[in-house]
Amino acid sequence: MALIKAIFKNQNSTIHQFMISIIIPAHNEYQNLQRLFSIASFLRHDRLIEVLVALSPCNTDEIELLDCIDKVKLVQCKNKGRAAQMNEAAGVAMGKTLVFLHADVVPPAEFIENIIQTLDNGYDAGFFSYRFDKDKWYLRINAAFTAKDGLFTGGGDQCLFIRKEAFEQLGRFNEKQVLMEDFEFFDRMKKKNLPYTIVKNDLVVSARKYESNSYLRVNLSNFILVVLFKLGYPGNKLKSLHNKLIRTPYNG
């Protein structure tokens, strides 16, 4: 009887460990979220506790219409900015695993299973490879790099997932890093030797930035911003430069 109880306890502990909260920072992203939730199979997964839409305090669209979707909860954040919004949602998240997803990114059908399997294999965190929603040869080149660990690994479009305990121990996102908070957090992950991997099952990422700017302009801008970030350029100046280089303003 004692052995049966011990096995049952361990099974429950394992299941609880893999209960998941998805966090989506949003500022006037109602249309993208409506589209995402209308096609998202992950909402039906039994290991997903909730999807927390972390709203900026100055959100002005019809986001409250999402209230009726099962498992989706709106978090009215006190401070604007992706780092601040994601931190606030993480603070109230019930899951033991946190998944940080962008509103215009569509996960694969095996999304939740991929996350569970990665954690079950001993990793504390992970990212996904991705492809764009427009099939252009030059976008395929960019997407190919997301399946490999390199200079651009850790960007928000790759959908960081991480054990909540590890996220807290690393000090959450740096709210002073108003742009590239994802890369800054990834740098801390690497310094602490947190075990992570890249799941090679593509997310589908919006190509809207490339549609508003040339391919060359976006890639050169991204390269400049990453290099300046690595050199310690302040987050507020990075954001200002980003908005000058890229015609679509940073939405976060």
Q: Where are the alpha helices (DSSP H) in the chain?
A: 2-17, 30-39, 82-92, 111-120, 137-144, 164-169, 181-191, 208-212, 215-230, 235-245
- Percentage of residues in the chain having pLDDT higher than 70: 91
Q: What span, in angstroms and rounded, lies between the C-alpha atoms of 126 and 183? A: 13
Q: Per CATH, which fold does 16-206 belong to?
A: Spore Coat Polysaccharide Biosynthesis Protein SpsA; Chain A (3.90.550)
The vertex-50 CA angle with 46 and 56, nearest 5°, equals 160
Residue 15 pLDDT class (50, 70, 90 cuts): low
pLDDT at 151 over 90: no
Phi, psi of 87 (to 5 degrees): -65, -45
Residue 13 pLDDT class (50, 70, 90 cuts): very low
Q: With a threshold of 0.85, does the pTM exceed it?
A: yes
Q: What span, in angstroms and rounded, lies between the C-alpha atoms of 159 and 156? A: 6
